[in-house]
Amino acid sequence: MDLRQLRYFSLVADLRSLAQASAHLGIAAPAMSRTIAALEEELKCSLFERDGRGMQLTAAGDILHSKAVQILRDVEVARQDVMAEGEHLAGDIGIGATPSVIGLLGADFIKRSLDRFPKVRPRLAEGYSGYLQNWVLTGVVDFALVNGQPPNHVRLQGERLAVERLFAIEQPGPTAEGDGTISLGDLLRAPLLLPTAQNPIRGLIDEAAKTLGQTVSTILEIDSAGLLKTLAAEGLAAAVLPFAAVQHEVATGKLSARPIVEPEITSDLTLIHLKDRPPSKVAVQLIKLILDILEDVVSGDGRHGFIEVCRPERYQR
């Protein structure tokens, strides 16, 4: 096997189409087909099943795909680190983040990173924390920013970057007025719109409710920040989200956001990466930039929900 074969194979596996992969790379389909066939001949097994849905991975192909993704990422990281040693930061970095983080930091991060590191190409992928963990494990992204508890997988390392409060998100009106906060006990008197149990934010709410001897009742469980916001704005029920997820809707008067108190519920913003593959030199610089932006947010005017920024030693300026 060589890297060219692995790149071709991985792209066909991702797109499930030899024709699309060849068009993407600008390579004739017969040439790519011969490369895949040579790989199958060398490995003495079929890597794909051809059917009406396209190119589907066999069990052997699935094993090779997971390994190929790791190998290709290792090669890219090696290239980045060697170039960084020569003070030429360059490379393609995959970054996963939750919708609230991308909504708060995404645009500013992209503009600053392109200005500061013009040869670095960050790829932002939005998802919930459970999906983000899987993307780190499978090499889809190099690192991710997740909400809630540290990662629960033996291969993952977590580093706390910041702490933020959770807010009750409601339709603007008399029920959302008062001193600007809402107690958890009052919030739990009516069913809520919440994410499913796999979402770390849901776990924080459930644990806080236990301290009061109360249970959490839901109208619906939805793993979609956009749909939660829409239903809350229509008055179906209150939702619970970080403020960053609703900053634009609050600013335009579509939603209200009240910090939850008695007890206050906070969520860690955690950086996760593979234990045996710490962030590359290029990734470290991007993480430092993320922390710079977070510190600017916390020190600036306006509501944001963050209580503090925690800068680990390796990401000091």
- Show me where the domains of the chain are located: 3-69, 93-317
What CATH topology corresponds to 93-317?
D-Maltodextrin-Binding Protein; domain 2 (3.40.190)
On the question of pLDDT at 159 being above 70, the answer is: yes
CATH class of 3-69: mainly alpha
On the question of pLDDT at 116 being above 50, the answer is: yes
Collapsed DSSP state (helix, strand, coil) of residue 44: coil
On the question of pLDDT at 35 being above 50, the answer is: yes
Would the pTM of this model clear 0.85, i.e. be above it? no
On the question of pLDDT at 177 being above 60, the answer is: no
Specify the higher pLDDT residue, 87 or 108. 108
The identity of residue 312, as a single letter, is P
Specify the higher pLDDT residue, 296 or 304. 296
Mean pLDDT value across residues 227-236:
95
On the question of pLDDT at 178 being above 50, the answer is: no
Specify the higher pLDDT residue, 303 or 177. 303
Distance (Å, rounded) from C-alpha 85 to C-alpha 108? 27
Distance (Å, rounded) from C-alpha 150 to C-alpha 209? 20
- What is the pairing mode between strands 156-170 and 256-261? antiparallel
Distance (Å, rounded) from C-alpha 188 to C-alpha 214? 8
Predicted pLDDT of residue 68: 87
